[in-house]
Amino acid sequence: MIKMVLASKNRHKLEEIRDIVKELDIQLISMEEAGLGKLEIIEDGKTFEENSMKKAVTVMEKTNTIAIADDSGLEVDYLDGRPGVYSARFSGENATDQDNNRKLLHMLEGVPLKDRVGRFVSVISVSFPDGRRLSFRGECEGIIGLEERGLGGFGYDPLFIVPEYDKTFAQLGSDIKNSISHRARALEKFGRKLKKLLGEK
């Protein structure tokens, strides 16, 4: 089993990624479990790729262990791609999910559903102690709802409607969400690559 450290303190993200990669031969531990509970990584990149790789490399260098990181967010076409890389702090540095959702709804007030097109984006980066660095991008298209629906998930999930199901991520349940989400798609690419790498040894 391959030990990897997830470069994130987000408990929801840890649980979700563990669920998605459970078929892979990976022991995924948190930053706290790796002794990095107090480490703060400034996400100052202009792209998901930059932020994701910075987190992975930083944690790999601190632990000398393979590190995996996710940087993800919501892009809304009507808002020219915002909130994008600033999704988690859309309403400020200490913004809650509720704060961010309220701001997004306010900025889209009066905009009809057909013009509320957006997508969740996830970039999974992996940094190996031997210097190898890999990134995988996944996207999931959807519509930004007129109000929050559902109690599951986290972040913008109550607002993000998946047209094929006519439900938000927060309504779909983790089994369906974790099979179609942006993060699932990026991790699927990562899983295929990992199997090839293991096959080489």
Q: Are 135 and 115 in contact (CB under 8 A)?
A: no
Other Cβ atoms less than 10 A from the Cβ of 182: the count is 26
Q: Are 81 and 53 in contact (CB under 8 A)?
A: no
Write the burial class of residue 146 (CB in 10 Å: 0-12 exposed, 13-18 middle, 19+ buried). Answer: middle
Three-class SS of 33-101? CCCCCCCCCCCCCCCHHHHHHHHHHHHHHHHCCCEEEEEEEEEEHHHCCCEHHHHHHCCCCCCCHHHHH
What the block records as the tokens of 125 is 């980066």
What the block records as the tokens of 51 is 């932020």
As annotated, the active-site residues are 71
H or E element at residue 13: helix 11-20
